[in-house]
């Protein structure tokens, strides 16, 4: 009986050029460390100027700029390509998150300028990132085939369940993980054979910021966010988000996964509509 060939369980990401927008953030920098550990060459594009990485970190290029500035983004991609070659894998992680956005009790009180700003960064910036990545892979040689050619979008639990106090964020994330993703799923393999696009939709992630918010907003707020409708009753470790992104980046592991949203949210299945005693105060008598 012939023995089966050895099964290679490595990710196969060594040498792959990965560009990560928002790679200096609380989740982003963990994703960067994960790709560096996998042997990838990593370019980070971020608005932030302070970096958790040493200036001489091997295989890492950090560039500064906004994803919503198309000409600047194009220039930053070009710098990355000049340094490490074509961007095979792009992780579109940069966005304005809920912790930096003003919340209102009702859409009736929302500022239209905030709505436009959220869409400009979270949706239009993601579109510009995807577009520039596609233009880059269009020039890849057809043979031999490049590996790990993929785009990974970042959605959110908010894109599925909404956010009553910040609907702009929920609407933009929903547009990314539904309309944009499904459109790109038909487009991307036409631009380069075998190229893939998928989306990771995290729930509340256990960052230092979540700890601060839990102290600031109190026990009931944390219960609503990470326990009430979350079967695992805990926030998501950022490393779990990073590992899911690596899985999707690896053609060896996820080469037949395309056009999918993977929820990394500890099983979240909804939102709390009313707190204890809260509905009674809104009843019309």
Q: Residues 265, 270, 274, 277: is their CA dihedral positive or negative?
A: negative
- The CA distance from 116 to 98, in Å, is 15
pTM: 0.95
CA-based max dimension of the chain: 80
Domain 17-102+110-203+238-266 has CATH 3.40.50.720: yes
- What is the structure's pLDDT at 49? 87
With tokens 């510009």, the residue in question is: 128
Q: What is the pLDDT of residues 260-284, one digit of tens each?
A: 999 999 999 999 998 888 887 777 6
- The CA distance from 283 to 140, in Å, is 62
Reference 48, options 59, 36, 32; nearest CA is 32
Beta-bridged to residue 198, according to DSSP, are 152
| Residue 140 CB-density burial (10 A; 0-12 exposed, 13-18 middle, 19+ buried) | middle
- The CA distance from 186 to 75, in Å, is 27
Q: SS3 for 132?
A: helix
With tokens 């008598």, the residue in question is: 285
- The CA distance from 283 to 285, in Å, is 6
Q: What is the pLDDT of residues 163-206, one digit of tens each?
A: 999 999 999 999 999 999 999 999 999 999 999 999 999 999 99
- The CA distance from 31 to 236, in Å, is 14
Q: What does DSSP assign to residue 147?
A: S
Prior bond of 144 cis (ω within 30°)? yes
- The CA distance from 91 to 196, in Å, is 12
76 and 65 Cβ atoms separated by less than 8 Å: yes
Domain coordinates of the chain in residue numbers? 17-102+110-203+238-266
- C-alpha 234 chain-centroid distance: 20
- Across the chain, mean pLDDT equals 95
- The CA distance from 265 to 279, in Å, is 27
Among left, alpha and beta (phi > 0; psi -120 to 50; other), residue 159 is alpha
What b/e string do you get for 74-93 counting C-beta neighbours within 10 Å, with b at 16 or more? Answer: eebbeebbeebebbbbbbbb
In a structure prediction context, what are the per-residue pLDDT tens digits for the chain, which is 285 residues long? 677 777 888 999 999 999 999 999 999 999 999 999 999 999 999 999 889 999 999 999 999 999 999 999 999 999 999 999 999 999 999 999 998 999 999 999 999 999 999 999 999 999 999 999 999 999 898 767 789 999 999 999 999 999 999 999 999 999 999 999 999 999 999 999 999 999 999 999 999 999 999 999 999 999 999 999 999 999 999 999 999 999 999 999 999 999 999 999 999 999 999 888 888 777 766
- The CA distance from 123 to 180, in Å, is 9
């Amino acid at each position: 009986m012939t023995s089966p060939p050895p099964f290679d369980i490595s990710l196969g990401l060594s040498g792959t050029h990965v560009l990560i927008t928002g790679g200096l953030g609380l989740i982003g920098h963990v994703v960067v460390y994960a790709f560096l550990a996998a042997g990838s060459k990593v370019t980070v594009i971020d608005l932030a100027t302070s970096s958790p990485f040493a200036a001489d970190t091997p295989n890492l290029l950090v560039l500064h700029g906004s994803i919503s500035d198309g000409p600047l983004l194009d220039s930053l991609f070009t710098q990355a390509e000049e340094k490490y070659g074509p961007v095979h894998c792009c992780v579109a992680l940069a966005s304005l998150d809920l912790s930096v956005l003003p919340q209102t009790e009702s859409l009736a009180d929302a500022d239209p300028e905030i709505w436009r700003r959220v869409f400009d960064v979270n949706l239009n910036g993601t579109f510009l990132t995807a577009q520039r990545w596609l233009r880059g892979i269009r020039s890849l040689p057809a043979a031999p085939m490049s590996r790990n050619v993929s785009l990974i979008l970042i959605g959110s639990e908010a894109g599925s369940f909404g956010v009553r106090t910040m609907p702009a964020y929920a609407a933009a994330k929903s547009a990314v993980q539904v309309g944009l993703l499904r459109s790109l799923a038909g487009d991307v393999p036409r631009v380069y054979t075998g190229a893939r696009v998928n989306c990771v939709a995290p729930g509340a992630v256990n960052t230092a910021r979540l700890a601060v918010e839990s102290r600031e907003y109190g026990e009931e707020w944390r219960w609503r966010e990470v326990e009430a409708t979350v079967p695992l009753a805990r926030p998501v470790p950022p490393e779990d988000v990073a590992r899911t992104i690596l899985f999707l980046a690896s053609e060896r592991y996820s080469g037949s996964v395309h056009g999918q949203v993977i929820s990394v949210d500890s099983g979240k299945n909804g939102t709390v509509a009313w707190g204890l005693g809260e509905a009674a105060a809104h009843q019309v008598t």
